[in-house]
């Protein structure tokens, strides 16, 4: 389960985040390309923009559900 206290510093400010257990498989950038990007360092992905439209929220939830490392989370 993702840990907010372990989130990458480059996540966009807001409830969704990616933590440091990300293995850089890149699945989430395919599922939610409008909101998740690969870091320039090439060692993790991060939330580049918090979701706005309903489709973006749906895609991010799919990324949370499918991330093999459970590295994507949402603070309530
Ligand atoms: S799906 Fe999970 S492990 Fe894969 S790149 Fe995204 S956050 Fe990292």
For the chain, the average pLDDT equals 97
CATH of the domain spanning 4-74, picked from 1.20.1730.10, 3.30.70.120, 3.40.50.1110, 3.30.70.20: 3.30.70.20
Predicted pLDDT at 76: 84
Per-residue three-class SS string for the chain: CCCHHHECCCCCCCCEEEECCCCCCCHHHHHCCCCEEECCCCCCEEECCCCCCHHHHHHHHHHHHHCCCCCEEECC
The answer to whether the CB of 26 is under 6 A from ligand 1 is: yes
The answer to whether the CB of 25 is under 6 A from ligand 1 is: yes
CA–centroid distance, 68 to ligand 1, in Å, is 7
Q: Given ligand 1 and candidates 19, 21, 26, 43, which is best to mutate, with the most ligand atoms within 8 Å of its CB?
A: 26
The residue-averaged pLDDT of 58-66 equals 98
Q: In the structure, what pLDDT confidence band is assigned to residue 75 with cuts at 50, 70 and 90? A: very high
Judged against a pLDDT cut of 90, whether residue 53 lies above it is answered with: no
pLDDT digits (tens, 9 = 90+) for 10-47: 999 999 999 999 999 999 999 999 999 999 999 999 99
Of 18, 13, 14, 15, nearest in space to 29 by CA: 18
């Amino acid at each position: 389960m993702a840990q907010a206290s372990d989130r990458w510093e480059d996540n966009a400010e807001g409830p969704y985040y990616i933590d440091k257990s990300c293995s850089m498989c890149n699945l989430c950038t395919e599922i939610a390309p409008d909101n998740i990007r690969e870091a320039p360092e090439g060692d993790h992905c991060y939330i580049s923009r918090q979701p706005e439209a309903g489709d973006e929220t749906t895609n991010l939830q799919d990324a949370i559900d499918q991330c093999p490392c459970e590295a994507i989370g949402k603070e309530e």
